[in-house]
């Protein structure tokens, strides 16, 4: 990886937000003091020393930290693979700022992170495959990254922003955004639920009630084959009919074949 010039605010990625940039820079400065090596900004949230390359992640908003977890971040497969060709020791730096001002961070070897990734379901995104990694805090006070115990990589310190120019305003702004975001999300969810219920009630009120089904007259329950009143029942029978008529003193006789046809109503007084 090629290096660029150092900056006073070592962590300068705008995606981290003002508080994240400030907290990230503080953590890097502490690591510099402990290792006697200076970090140089490479790109984004990637930093390096003469012997190390570090991919950093910072979490400064409690909204992103679920109960039982102390850190949450996204790790891309392509970036992880690129660390193998640097010729340096590769690490991931996970940082969390809690609401009480406590800063927690873990400088974890990339090899350990690789083992953790094998236990996490990959997600396909526009930038390629990535993983959502979480650091859990157990009841025994241990820290676990997926299935990897990283307790021995954990460091913490109290961050006092009162002596830093603009520090209190940054924390206040971030906290306000967090509280406001939660209130807005709850209000939207409540309004959406109320609207759905209102629409359901309006739809139910607009639908006409179904009239009860009634049986026709002269057709009691259970009598399916009984003809309706006013119909020609003879038309429902089958067989031969013998006719004999007399015209002008002369008799005529004949037969007719009857077959079932659809019953039709016969007007009263009609000749059939």
Residue 73 located in a structural domain: yes
Helices (H), 98-215: 110-117, 167-206
So what's the pLDDT on residue 179?
57
Judge contact between 92 and 55, C-beta under 8 A. Answer: yes
State residue 19's pLDDT score. Answer: 75
Handedness of CA 226, 227, 230, 236 (dihedral sign): negative
Q: What is the pLDDT of residue 80?
A: 84
Residue 165 located in a structural domain: yes
Residue 204 domain flag: no
| Within-domain flag for 77 | yes
- Whether residue 60 is contained in a domain is answered as yes
Closest to 50 in 3D by CA, of 63, 58, 64, 40? 40
Is residue 118 in a domain? yes
In a domain, 200, yes or no: no
Distance CA 166, CA 38 (A): 25
d(CA 257, CA 172): 102
Residue pair 17/57 in contact by the 8 Å Cβ criterion: no
Low-confidence residues in the chain, pLDDT < 50? 1-7, 230-237, 266, 270-272
- 130-180 tens-digit pLDDT: 888 889 888 888 999 988 999 999 999 988 766 665 566 666 665 665 555
Q: Are the CB atoms for 1 and 49 separated by under 8 Å?
A: no
Report the pLDDT value the prediction gives residue 53, as an integer from 0 to 100.
92
**pLDDT for the residue 233:** 44
- The answer, as to whether pTM is greater than 0.75, is no
- Tell me what pLDDT residue 63 has: 56
**Longest CA pairwise span in the chain (Å):** 142
Q: Which domain holds residue 36?
A: 14-182
State how many domains the chain has.
1
Kindly give, in sequence order, each residue whose CB lies less than 8 Å from that of residue 58, ignoring residues fewer than 6 positions away.
11, 16, 20, 23, 24, 45, 95, 96, 97
pLDDT at 236: 47
Res 234: pLDDT: 44
Burial of 148 (0-12, 13-18, 19+ CB in 10 A): buried
Residue of 208, 228, 100 lying closest to 157 (CA atoms): 100
How many CA within 13 A on the CB side of residue 25? 19
In a domain, 199, yes or no: no
């Amino acid at each position: 990886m090629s290096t660029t010039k150092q900056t006073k605010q070592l962590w300068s990625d705008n995606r981290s937000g003002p508080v994240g940039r400030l907290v990230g820079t503080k953590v890097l400065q502490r690591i510099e003091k402990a290792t006697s090596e200076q970090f140089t900004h490479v790109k984004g949230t990637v930093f390096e020393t003469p012997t190390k390359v570090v991919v950093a992640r910072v979490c400064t908003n409690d909204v992103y930290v679920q109960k039982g977890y102390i850190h949450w971040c996204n790790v891309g497969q392509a970036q992880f693979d690129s660390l193998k060709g640097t010729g340096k020791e590769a690490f991931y730096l996970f940082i969390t700022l809690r609401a009480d001002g406590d800063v927690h961070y873990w400088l974890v070897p990339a090899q350990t992170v690789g083992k953790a990734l094998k236990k996490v379901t990959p997600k396909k995104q526009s930038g390629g495959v990535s993983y959502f990694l979480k650091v859990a805090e157990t009841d025994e006070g241990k820290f676990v990254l997926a299935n990897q115990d990283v307790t021995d990589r954990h460091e913490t310190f109290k961050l006092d922003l009162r002596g830093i120019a603009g520090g209190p305003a940054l924390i206040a702004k971030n906290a306000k955004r967090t509280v406001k975001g939660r209130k807005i999300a709850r209000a939207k969810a409540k309004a959406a639920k109320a609207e759905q219920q209102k629409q359901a009630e309006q739809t139910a009120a607009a639908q006409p009630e179904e009239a009860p089904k009634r049986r026709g007259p002269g057709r009691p329950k259970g009598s399916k084959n009984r003809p309706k009143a006013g119909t020609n029942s003879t038309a429902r029978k089958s067989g031969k009919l013998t006719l004999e008529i007399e015209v002008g003193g002369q008799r005529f006789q004949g037969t007719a074949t009857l077959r079932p046809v659809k019953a039709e109503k016969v007007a009263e007084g009609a000749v059939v």
